């Protein structure tokens, strides 16, 4: 899965096979063609066009305001910028909850107009009819349990989910989603021991984000792992200081412009 050079797109069958082999793999978000190309060439097998774009692209303080029309061009750009990764599009808040028909109409748009290869939606048993409708139509579905950011107001904030009795409910939701045909499930901000039990119980891969090391895969928002986020969550590990590098570069450019050192003859046309 990770780092391969198969010459074709990763598919849900490849993801299922990785689960059978016990092979772990990474997933990262992407929102434009240039970063998608970088991640794709690095061998990242799955790229998520997350509704987190609401915050990291559009500047909102939650995922709720982002719309289908906001995410469609981002998804299309990521598809165009990649050649191997499976591109998963988030279904934003309000675009699938009303009915299976609404979910199907939204997912079809992402598949036909943006070229997505799969879609992701949040929730457990309450969205089973939507999952079943999408799978019946031939649309691969990635599920999402635990801290589901679209329900942040119902949770009363960004809190760990699945402690105590609610852990049993999450386990039941995960099994029902797998039975409904979801090809994988994201587990966000749940206790590590619960994520381990869910992973062992499911025939489909689990993708952790703040869910400990036992899940089949891990996902992070790329701006978080690159150090662009000012106050990342506890589960984020910063792998680079891109904010610092960008600050140094733009200050160097500004200093050379104001001093007259840039542009030189080397950067000018005769």
Alpha helices in the chain (DSSP H): 12-21, 33-41, 53-56, 68-81, 100-112, 128-136, 152-155, 165-180, 192-201, 222-225, 242-259
- Tokens 């991640």, residue located: 39
**Burial class for 94, CB neighbours closer than 10 Å (0-12, 13-18, 19+):** middle
Sequence-separated (6 or more) residues with CB below 8 Å from residue 163: 191
Cα separation, 229 vs 215, in Å, equals 24
Sequence-separated (6 or more) residues with CB below 8 Å from residue 235: 189, 209, 210, 211
The conformation of residue 255, written as its DSSP 8-state character, comes to H
Nearest CA to 229 out of 219, 209, 244, 213 is that of 244
| Residue 38: φ, ψ to 5° | -60, -50
Active-site residue identified among 188, 196, 245, 266: 188
CA atoms within 13 A on the CB side of 188: 21
Residue 188 falls in the annotated catalytic set: yes
Catalytic (active-site) positions: 188
């Amino acid at each position: 899965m990770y780092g391969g050079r198969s010459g074709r797109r990763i598919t849900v069958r490849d993801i299922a096979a990785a689960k059978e082999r016990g092979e772990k793999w990474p997933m990262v978000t992407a929102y434009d063609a240039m970063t998608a190309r970088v991640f794709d060439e690095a061998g990242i097998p799955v790229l998520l066009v997350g509704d987190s774009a609401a915050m990291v692209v559009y500047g909102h303080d939650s995922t709720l305001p982002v719309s289908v029309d906001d995410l469609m061009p981002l998804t299309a750009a990521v598809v165009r910028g990649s050649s191997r990764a499976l591109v998963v599009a988030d279904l934003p808040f309000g675009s699938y909850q009303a009915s299976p028909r609404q979910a199907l109409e939204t997912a079809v748009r992402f598949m036909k107009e943006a070229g997505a290869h799969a879609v992701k939606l949040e929730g457990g048993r309450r969205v089973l009819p939507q999952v079943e409708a999408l799978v019946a139509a031939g649309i691969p579905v990635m599920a999402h349990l635990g801290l589901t950011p679209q329900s942040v107001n119902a949770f009363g904030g960004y809190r760990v989910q699945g402690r105590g009795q609610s852990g049993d409910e999450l386990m039941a939701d995960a099994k029902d989603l797998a039975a409904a045909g979801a090809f994988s499930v994201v587990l966000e901000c749940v206790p590590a021991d619960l994520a381990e039990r869910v992973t062992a119980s499911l025939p489909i891969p689990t993708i952790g984000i703040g869910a400990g090391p036992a899940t089949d895969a891990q996902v992070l928002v790329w701006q978080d792992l690159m150090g662009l986020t000012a106050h990342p969550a506890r589960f984020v590990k910063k792998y680079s200081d891109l904010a610092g590098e960008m600050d140094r570069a733009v200050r160097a450019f500004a200093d050379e412009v104001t001093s007259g050192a840039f542009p030189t003859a080397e950067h000018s046309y005769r």
